[in-house]
A and B are shown apart, each in its own frame.
Chain A
């Protein structure tokens, strides 16, 4: 898809981005301090870091949901103003409309694009089939399991064919087996057209198994990027099997050396705050 044209401009480029929130009692909390992050077209980048380190904040900046206090975000070479129209965003929490069936939830994603309803329903059916939920089209979200809801959410985003996927610990609430199945599904779908992906997780194994590159963020406040590792594992991958490979362990050990210190720092801060 015109990769040669876009090769010059990265899918996501965050330059000198910092984010601070005003506190209700006055003053400001610096979540992210001056950070640079570049995601090339077709690249799968995972961000790991201790809880509350500002990984999600960075993702929200790339989505246009949060305005950075300083610095700039550009998407395919264009400065980002307002919401990122090139991106699909998979949330950690349930984001499906509970009053719509699985089919309607997926089909409604095409309405902003002006696709006629009949055609939208047809394409939504096709997408539910691709995420393995053809038989659940008429179910409402409360009748679906956690994993099934994520599948619907994935179909809802992918049906719009965005050029970027932003994922905020999307498989966090799921059990271990479902996470693996969802990870493999995501990789299968991603392999078909290689969108640029920015994937936030606190699970280092998941990050390595999925991504081309793993970025480590430091403990907050004023989090910065402290590690950036290329994952030289072959594709296609199977999330469950790849974990047994020696190379996987070597990479894990290397990144964990960085991440461990940050996790301990975050933990110590949490204890300090409580004391």
Chain B
């Protein structure tokens, strides 16, 4: 399919849904529209609220805080995941001993940790960073662990035959292999960093997008909730675009990274 056709179809779907929403909440059957605008709001109202939030500038502080939390959660989680992934992959005994605990910790729904983090780290950004960390850490950890364990035995044997010592193997073989796996999960882990931040804010804070949504919800301001969601969606798309750009830059040696952009 041609790129322009695809784009226009994509836009058409969005507009159709908005029109449907608009009609269901405005056209009246008897006394009331099919969907009560009090519970469903209206697309134009939401748009107006988003515009107002940006125009008045009140949203920037909240966006900034959510962004800061996301970045911090991603960085700490990724660094922790890489370090532990390496240690566990290279140390058979450590991996075997800790295996059940890692599995148990990973199986735990991380949201239940949020109240504890709030008690430990307070209502500021650090309880949200901690929540995001627990989400990002395991994704990166398992990917790096897998990446280091599954380095091609031929590449490894070849590097050894070239005379590489442990440090050189780490630098030229294990590290790039682990990074590949980490980057392949980059979208997921950045997404989870954001989830950690927003959910944390939602459960208790005084700033951030999650806080904005929670605040609107608590006064039955459905328009405010939808406006918060729209802003969050825009925010996610921008972050995802940046991540894709970084990924394409760093994984230029990978065949798949190019075939996806070469389409159309």
Contacts and interface: CB of A to CB of B under 8 A. Distances in A.
B162 A91 contact: no
A5 B264 CA distance: 65
Contact of B164 (A95, A112, A153): A112
Nearest to B251: A99
B157 A112 contact: no
Contacts of A65: 157, 160-161
B163 A112 contact: yes
Interface in A189-241: none
A99 B162 contact: no
Given A111-B168, A142-B253, A142-B255, A97 B162 contact: no
A232 B162 CA distance: 33
A108 B162 contact: yes
Interface string B58-84: 000000000000000000000000000
Interface size class of B (residues with CB under 8 A): 20 to 34
B90 to A, nearest CB: 19
Contacts of B253: 98-101, 140-142
A95 B155 contact: yes
B158 interface: yes
A235 to B, nearest CB: 28
A63 B161 contact: yes
Interface string B2-35: 0000000000000000000000000000000000
Nearest to B175: A99
A88 to B, nearest CB: 7
B137 to A, nearest CB: 24
Interface string B82-105: 000000000000000000000000
Contacts of B177: 99
Given A83-B161, A99-B176, A99-B253, A112 B168 contact: yes
A97 B163 contact: no
Contacts of A113: 163
A160 B162 contact: yes
B163 A140 contact: no
B162 A109 contact: yes
Nearest to B176: A99
A65 B172 CA distance: 20
A91 B158 contact: yes
B252 interface: yes
Interface string A131-147: 00000000011100000
B180 A99 contact: yes
B18 to A, nearest CB: 43
A8 interface: no
Contacts of B152: 93, 95
B173 interface: yes
Interface in A131-171: 140-142, 153, 156-157, 160
B165 interface: yes
14 contacts: A63-B161, A83-B160, A83-B163, A87-B161, A91-B158, A98-B254, A99-B180, A100-B172, A101-B253, A108-B172, A111-B164, A111-B168, A156-B162, A157-B162
Interface of B: 152, 154-155, 157-165, 168, 172-173, 176-177, 180, 252-255
